[in-house]
Amino acid sequence: MNDAVVMAKDVRPVHHADRRRDVMMPYAPALLVRRGSLLFLSGVTAAPVYHSHPHRAEEFDLPRTMREQAALAMDNLKKTLEAAGCSMKDLVSATRYLTDVREQDDLNRVWAEWLGGHLPTTTTVEVSRLATHANCKIEISAIAVADAAPAAAPRKPPSPRRPRTTRNPKRTR
């Protein structure tokens, strides 16, 4: 197999047989990954992905609204996906942590703007505070599926080595 060949991923939504079609769902109940390489993304917030540790307050001067923070977090998510050769359409699962669940509708509006009709599976959890910084209102961790790289060619077993002969350093001519 040519090393340059990449197999297309195969991801399919899974729905219940008694699925309601009269409601809009902002997620898929399940996605079946039949082929592809999994990409696990660390949580992103509205703060820069690359920030100081220990944290410095000036790096967390963030907007106060969920809409603005969600847009910045989605931009960070997009950049991370692109760094791995993926796009937002490759997301298959996301866990969204909010500090105020009453702002979930604002998050869902931003989510829909960034994902269009693409619906990864999601879980949304309200937390008392995000570990990144007290100013962060949203954190998103995600899983994506990239095109599958071909399996690596099996390695050849090492060839048997001939016994090494050692020279006697004291030997003279």
The mean pLDDT value of the chain amounts to: 84
* Mean pLDDT of the region 125-145: 95
Distance CA 24, CA 45 (A): 26
Residues facing 31 on adjacent strands? 13
pLDDT band at 128 (very low <50, low <70, confident <90, very high): very high
The size of the chain, in residues, is 173
Give the domain ranges of the chain.
40-143
Judge whether 13 and 92 are in contact, CB under 8 Å: no
User: Per the confidence metrics, is the pTM higher than 0.85?
Assistant: no
Judge whether 112 and 122 are in contact, CB under 8 Å: no
Q: Does domain 40-143 correspond to CATH entry 3.30.56.10?
A: no
Judge whether 139 and 44 are in contact, CB under 8 Å: yes
* Mean pLDDT of the region 71-100: 95
pLDDT tens for each residue of 12-41: 777 778 887 887 766 677 777 778 888 999
